[in-house]
Amino acid sequence: MSVLFYTLNSNFIDITIKKMKKFVIAIHGGAGTILRKNMTSEKEDAYHEALRAALEAGQDILNKKGTAIEAVTVAVSLMEDSPLFNAGKGSVYSHNGQNEMEASIMEGEKLRAGAIAGVKNVKNPIQLAKSILFDDDFVYLLGHGAEEYADNQKLEKVADEYFQTQFRKEQWLAAKGEGKVLLDHDSDKKFGTVGAVALDIDGNLSAATSTGGLTNKKYGRIGDSSVIGSGTYANNNTCAISCTGYGEFFLRAVVAYDVSCLMEYKGLSLKEACEQVVMKKLVEMKGEGGLIALDSTGNFEFSFNSEGMYRGAVGSDLALKTYIYK
């Protein structure tokens, strides 16, 4: 966005073009086989409203000159609070009937990061990851240790019952009955991970991702969402990335960092790098899913090789819009 300033004196008119700094935030609520024929209008409206609420909260932070870190944290927290997504309250059940969550966050100025996995009873896992980001002693905490750290940070804890929605319980019982590990919705293969990327007016990028993982997962399985470089990455010199998909493929492909590397070392644009990783590399590996991406000039991409992705964006010169289908 540019504004013209005119200065008049007796001899000339001085025209100065002054750049106004911009902000952008983009979010996702999972990708997968999301088909219009499988959705009711009420369910569509509910998803759009949840996405809008998260975007508006992030926009409010950025509009008040808040940081990208704060913006992605509040946006992801709101999606964690919604039972519509596989994160926080809406997290799926693991094999032992518990809700084991993971999350990560990274900022692009100093490359600080925070990540947690195998966590129970923490109401907003992304807020725990954010606390770790500001602690120079850690990057990644697991299980009971992460929960103890949450207590030390005085983060809100909730009882098991908070996460135990009937819909997720039925998914888990069905998966156990079939002896399978299932995606968020096995019938339509949806990955309900949530995430956000943001650029603040100081030119700093940040990315955050949160998930409950796979239904009926065993042995403390961890996906890409809490792994810096695979599910989340941010670097002011390149981009901010948050991924959603079948975690094993995103781990093997180091997806988030791969996009950044293509920009940094090969000089690809954000769009070109996303296309290379999501539409070529992952497809060849038979890895389904997608990502949201944002560069330091405010360009953003929704890149996914599935039928749909819950997503949206808003910025200082960008009207708020949300989408579901391809």
pLDDT one-digit tens code per residue, 41-86: 999 999 999 999 999 999 999 999 999 999 999 999 999 999 999 9
In a domain, 14, yes or no: no
- Report d(CA 24, CA 60) in Å as an integer: 11
In a domain, 9, yes or no: no
Least confident of 20-34, 38-52, 113-127, 263-277: 20-34
Residue 181 has pLDDT above 70, yes or no: no
- Report d(CA 31, CA 46) in Å as an integer: 16
Residue 235 has pLDDT above 70, yes or no: yes
- In this prediction the pTM is 0.91
In a domain, 67, yes or no: yes
Count the neighbouring beta carbons within 10 Å of the beta carbon of residue 260.
Answer: 25
Angle in degrees, 0-180, between the axes of helices 125-133 and 68-80, rounded to the nearest 10: 160
In a domain, 157, yes or no: yes
Percent of the chain with pLDDT over 90: 81
- Report d(CA 90, CA 99) in Å as an integer: 9
Among residues 73, 193, 211, 322, the one annotated as catalytic is 193
Q: Is 193 a catalytic residue?
A: yes
What pLDDT is recorded for position 291? 98
Residues 6+ apart with CB under 8 A from 98: 120, 160
- Report d(CA 321, CA 272) in Å as an integer: 23
In a domain, 139, yes or no: yes
What total of structural domains would you count in the chain? 1
Under 8 Å between Cβ of 300 and 307: no
Count the neighbouring beta carbons within 10 Å of the beta carbon of residue 43.
Answer: 12
Least confident of 3-12, 91-100, 233-242, 257-266: 3-12
Two tokens at 243?
């991924």
In a domain, 3, yes or no: no
In a domain, 196, yes or no: yes
In a domain, 15, yes or no: no
- Report d(CA 110, CA 112) in Å as an integer: 5
Write the CATH number for 285: 3.60.20.30
What pLDDT is recorded for position 190? 63
Two tokens at 9?
């004196």
CA 254 to each of CA 24, 27, 303: distance values in angstroms, whole numbers, following the listed order: 25, 20, 16
**Domain of 163?**
21-325
Residues 6+ apart with CB under 8 A from 130: 69, 73, 105, 114, 208
